[in-house]
Structure 1
């Protein structure tokens, strides 16, 4: 963490990514306290009102405040992406640790399963799961998690296989250390930075994929505000001048995805032993 702080002070792109991420988190957390407008409140008389002081992001076709819905959408998108990232990290990481330490038929079976999952494009896999389980937040999250698990598996498996061949790990095993002790003392501490970088990338992937599922009607269902669904609702008015319906949620997705990717790239440069920025 101290190295990340130092790198942030030296790297304007990393600082900008963190600033965008913190700003969106503050909007999601403090927005409902500062902007006390019901995102589900309908006011037909105020429908399709352009951005103004009363409605900073305008209103939609039934008079709902777009800014209030944007705030709620930020909460939904980030909480779902964080949940998907954590669940994928735990499941994929544990399977990767198991395969890397055990080897043999366990490694072979798990690797073949992960290869089969990776054969499908991530978005197509998430859509197929959402269709099979029924459109909704839970099914969409399951689809995104399944698409992310093989990434963690391959990453952790490779790291564990590399680390278990090092001299100090072999020495600890020769002295009677159990697999759990090896993981706790010698393997996990060496892989945390790698997992953190991967988690940053998966967070951005989750944001974009959940928005894509919402855009095609397979994600979070109305009336719950979600940025992808809001863009879909705004498409009907894109050619009639009501640009704010789709632009603002689109900017939210873009900003959050860019922030996550920039942070992941810079953290990879920071923690990759082969990177010239390491230090």
Structure 2
């Protein structure tokens, strides 16, 4: 943490990424207190109003405040992305740790399953899961988690295989340390920074994939505000001058993804500068 804070004071790109992410997270957490309008409130008389002091991001085709919907969309996108990132870390990371340490048939079987999942492009896999389970936030989250698990698995498995060859790990194993003790005391502490770096990249991927699923109608369903769905709704009015309907949610997706990627890149430079190829998505 000290290295991160020291780098934050001098690295403009890292500072920019943390600032943008912090602003969006702040809006997601406290935006409803600062702007208490109901994002689902219909006001036909004020439909398609351009940005103004009363409606900083304008209104949509049924008079709903776009800024209020933007705030709730941030809550939904960030909440689901955090859940996806944590679930992918726990499932994929645990499988990778066990496969690298146990080896044998367990490693062979899990590795083949992960290779089969990686054979599909991540977005196509997430779309297929969402179609199979039906549109909705749960199916979208499951699809993104399934696409993210192999990244953690391969990363942690390779790290464990590398750490197993180190002298102190071999000594602990020779003294009879159990696999759980090896992971808890000797392996996991050495991989924590790598996990956080990958989690930053997966968070960005989750934001983009959830927006893409919402854009094609497979993600979070209306009337719940979600940035990808809001862009889809705004396309119908893009050619008639109501640019704000799709612009602001698209800007939110862009800024959130860019900030997460900047943070991931800088964390990689700080903690694991030789791992760029392994951590790429």
SS at match of 2:197: helix
The answer to whether residue 184 in structure 2 is matched with residue 198 in structure 1 is no
Correspondence for 2:49: 49
RMSD between aligned alpha carbons? 0.7
Correspondence for 1:252: 252
Correspondence for 1:176: 176
Alpha-carbon offset, residue 274 of structure 1: 3.5
Correspondence for 2:14: 14
1:115-154 alignment to 2 at 5 Å?
A: 115-154=115-154
Distance of 2:164 and 2:9 partners within structure 1: 35
Correspondence for 1:74: 74
What do residues 33-56 of structure 1 show as CA deviations (whole Å, max 9, x unaligned)? 011100000000000000000000
After superposition, the Cα gap between the structure-2 partners of 1:101 and 1:64, relative to the gap in structure 1 and judged at 3 Å, is same
The answer to whether residue 99 in structure 2 is matched with residue 99 in structure 1 is yes
Correspondence for 2:64: 64
The answer to whether residue 32 in structure 2 is matched with residue 35 in structure 1 is no
Distance of 1:115 and 1:8 partners within structure 2: 37
SS at match of 1:177: coil
What do residues 69-122 of structure 1 show as CA deviations (whole Å, max 9, x unaligned)? 000000000000000000000000010011000111110110000000000000
Distance of 2:174 and 2:19 partners within structure 1: 48
**How many residues end up aligned between the 2 structures?**
275
Distance of 1:76 and 1:164 partners within structure 2: 41
Correspondence for 1:162: 162
Correspondence for 2:186: 186
After superposition, the Cα gap between the structure-2 partners of 1:112 and 1:209, relative to the gap in structure 1 and judged at 3 Å, is same
Distance of 1:237 and 1:127 partners within structure 2: 26
The answer to whether residue 77 in structure 2 is matched with residue 84 in structure 1 is no
Distance of 1:273 and 1:263 partners within structure 2: 14
SS at match of 2:238: coil
Correspondence for 2:278: none
Distance of 2:273 and 2:259 partners within structure 1: 23
Q: Could you list the structure 1 runs, at least 4 aligned residues long, displaced by more than 3 angstroms after superposition.
A: none
Structure 2 length as normaliser, TM-score? 0.97
Distance of 2:273 and 2:54 partners within structure 1: 52
Correspondence for 2:279: none
Gaps of 5+ in 1: none
Gaps of 5+ in 2: 276-281
SS at match of 1:10: coil
The answer to whether residue 241 in structure 2 is matched with residue 272 in structure 1 is no
Alpha-carbon offset, residue 273 of structure 1: 5.0
Structure 1 length as normaliser, TM-score? 0.98
After superposition, the Cα gap between the structure-2 partners of 1:170 and 1:134, relative to the gap in structure 1 and judged at 3 Å, is same
Distance of 1:60 and 1:74 partners within structure 2: 17
SS at match of 1:194: helix
With 7-16 and 220-229 compared, the bigger mean Cα shift is at 7-16
The answer to whether residue 212 in structure 2 is matched with residue 218 in structure 1 is no
